[in-house]
A and B are shown apart, each in its own frame.
Chain A
Amino acid sequence: MATQRYFRPWYFIFPGAMLGLITLGYPIVQAIYHSFHAVTMRRLGDGVFVGMDNFVQLFGDHLFLRSIMATISFTLGSTVLAVAFGLFIASVMSSQGIRGTALARFFMAFFLVPFVTTQVVTGILGRLYVWQSSYGLVNFLLETIGLERVRWLTSMDHAMTATVVTNGWRMAPLALLIFYAALATIPDEIVESAEVDGASFLTLWFRIKYPMIRFHLGFVSLIILTSAFREFDVIYGLTGGGPGRSTEVLSILVYRLGVTQGNMGMANAVSVTMLVIVSVITIAAVKIGKLGAMSE
């Protein structure tokens, strides 16, 4: 449209683009640059170019590969948990008689509490009162129903479960909120007439509800997946990466390599690996789900 030229859009975009280049673009370029250098805390300015050495060393290190496995378990586990519970509660909330009422608004306000609670405090609260093995909440409930206590955070077998559940608890509200908003747009008449015509529960879900929330399912999964992938705060507060590095996801590994051990080259090689993984996920999502169309 010709008149749009009058609005001089680039003048409005320019300051933001500059700030983005300084605060986002430059650090990303630096991260890539340092990942090809041997840099240590002492000699920050003059790293030696080592080509792919950092990456070769990383991928030959079984601790790094274990960290990748931990990241996959954590990311997929908490995404599946958050999406499943979010969808279930949202479908209950969007049922007739509850959706749109003051009661639904009251519930929704409190359902958002896990999401707005400071993540590192969520982790600490989990460590001290929820997963603690002798008097924590989860073991208290397990004993009440007659089951054995579990050493959640001190055994390498169970720490990841606790970490995944904690992050799932934190992210579920986001899924719940978006699914509720999506399901509430499906008119009662459509659901009712399908039910009268004898549609089973599953038919109703797969033929009517699923097609109408498919887009949201993809969007929510992408958001939760990518934010679980970069999660640091919850894990640091809950386990600090332990015990025995069983919950040391890539973000925590970057901190340990770069800040604790002062090996900046390797730390940046890990973050560049993360950058590649997240780019692949994003591009795949844009191509498959046409998520780029969201902003239109």
Chain B
Amino acid sequence: MGEAQRKIKNYRLRRRLSYGGRLAILLGWLAVCVVPILILVMASLKPTNLFQTIPEILSFQGMTLENYSRALRGGNFFLYLRNSMIISLSALVVVLVVCTPMAYGITRLPSIRQKNIVVFSVLSTRFLPYVVLAMPMFMLFRQLGISGTLTGVILAHLAMQMPMIVWLMLGFFSGIPLEVEEAAVIDGCSPFQTFWRISLPMVLPGLNASAILALIISYNEFLFAFFLAGRNTQPLTVGITRFVGGVDVGAQYGVVAAYGSLIIIPIILFALVANRYIVSGLTQGAVKG
């Protein structure tokens, strides 16, 4: 037996983990990811006045929708849903309209020095602790008289989204070759036309990914709304915390579970459908080096 064949034989013998073994690990991790969510959803379908063990919660016996009707009646669900929608969609529109051109402009800066300064100021706000913004905003909005309004919460969401969206779009725009734009300029496009007709269409998948991530983050956001929203302007995430205190429903776990399920099921389904964009958005900027 030649040297090479012996090596290959050794290699085959030492092959680490079988396909089945690796599959089992992945299935195990799938359970870790999904089972807690399943427990919440199944618990929301069980009678609210019973404390149940995990096997009882996960069984299909004695299912009821009573928790949902109570969550929808007692918790101002639709008002808070409306607030969630207004906040996330308004923040999304403003942030895209402002940040997409900004990211484009940054990548087209002629001087590397200027570019580095602008990029660093964006980067430095990206990791900012949110309370650093929320606390002064809380005070400022009281003085301005917009405390407890949707406008205040939306402004805070803009602050939260801007660094991330500029960051993501920078990556997508710098992928466009400058020659394409120079050709457009030679054909008589103005700077704005070049951006709108040539560059923007080329980053459309990136724009989708950014928009979807921004939407998910705004919908899930709790801290800013908790600091800044009023009783009638709070989104769903703040609404549910009032249940847990038990003031409204007397700490009935089933109703809390139903309310929680109503919040997370839509966003999880949305994320599963838009998976491709989320993957591309989250890996952007990380996987190029």
Contact = CB atoms under 8 A, between A and B. Distances in A.
B191 A8 contact: yes
Contacts of A196: 7-8, 11
A113 B222 contact: no
B178 to A, nearest CB: 7
B33 A113 contact: yes
A296 B98 contact: no
B190 to A, nearest CB: 9
A294 B220 contact: no
Contacts of A11: 105, 191
Contacts of B123: 282, 286, 291-292, 295
Contact of A92 (B25, B121, B135): B25
B282 A177 contact: yes
Instruction: Report the contact-size class of chain A (Cβ under 8 Å from the partner).
Output: 35 or more
Given A140-B54, A178-B287, A282-B127, A114 B162 contact: no
A254 B51 contact: no
A128 B19 CA distance: 37
How many chain B residues sit at the interface, stated as a range, is: 35 or more
Interface string A93-116: 101011000000101111111101
Contacts, number: 331
A4 B124 contact: no
Nearest to A222: B127
Interface of B is mostly: helix
Contact of B268 (A3, A105, A113): A113
A13 B287 contact: no
Interface of A is mostly: helix
A16 B159 CA distance: 11
A226 to B, nearest CB: 4
Interface string A199-238: 0010000000000000110011010001101101100110
A11 B195 CA distance: 12
Interface in B80-101: 94, 98-99, 101
A4 B191 contact: no
B26 interface: yes
B222 A236 contact: yes
A178 B282 contact: yes
B287 A116 contact: no
A105 to B, nearest CB: 8
A16 B286 contact: no
B113 interface: no
Given A16-B162, A128-B253, A282-B123, A28 B132 contact: yes
A60 interface: no
Interface in B120-162: 120-125, 127-140, 142-143, 155-156, 158-159, 162
Interface stretch (B37-45, B70-78, B203-211): B37-45
Given A119-B222, A130-B39, A16 B278 contact: no
Interface stretch (A145-153, A156-164, A263-271): A263-271
B97 to A, nearest CB: 8
A39 interface: yes
A139 B19 CA distance: 32
A197 interface: yes
A216 B138 CA distance: 37
Interface in B6-52: 7-8, 10-11, 14, 16-17, 19, 22-23, 25-26, 29-30, 32-37, 39-40, 43, 51-52
A187 interface: no
Q: Chain A CB within 10 Å — which of B57, B122, B223 has the most? A: B223
B63 interface: no
B102 A17 contact: yes
Contact of A20 (B105, B135, B162): B162
B54 A215 contact: no
Given A121-B260, A128-B256, A89 B191 contact: no
Given A27-B136, A216-B286, A236 B241 contact: yes
A110 B272 CA distance: 7
Interface in A5-28: 5-13, 15-17, 19-20, 23-24, 27-28
A275 B136 CA distance: 13
A124 B244 contact: yes
B84 to A, nearest CB: 10
Contacts of A197: 7
A178 B286 contact: yes
A135 B105 contact: no
A10 B105 contact: yes
A267 B110 CA distance: 42
A107 B191 CA distance: 44
Contacts of A30: 136, 139-140
Give the interface centre of A12, A267, A294 by most chain B CB atoms within 10 Å. A12
Q: Would you list the 8 A-B pairs with minimal beta carbon distance, nearest first?
A: A12-B105, A16-B102, A226-B127, A30-B136, A23-B159, A230-B129, A13-B105, A9-B105
Interface of B: 7-8, 10-11, 14, 16-17, 19, 22-23, 25-26, 29-30, 32-37, 39-40, 43, 51-54, 57, 94, 98-99, 101-102, 104-106, 108-110, 116, 118-125, 127-140, 142-143, 155-156, 158-159, 162-163, 166-167, 170-171, 174, 178, 181-182, 185, 191, 194-195, 216, 219-223, 226-227, 236-237, 240-241, 244, 253, 256-257, 260, 263-264, 267-268, 271-272, 275, 278-279, 282-283, 285-289
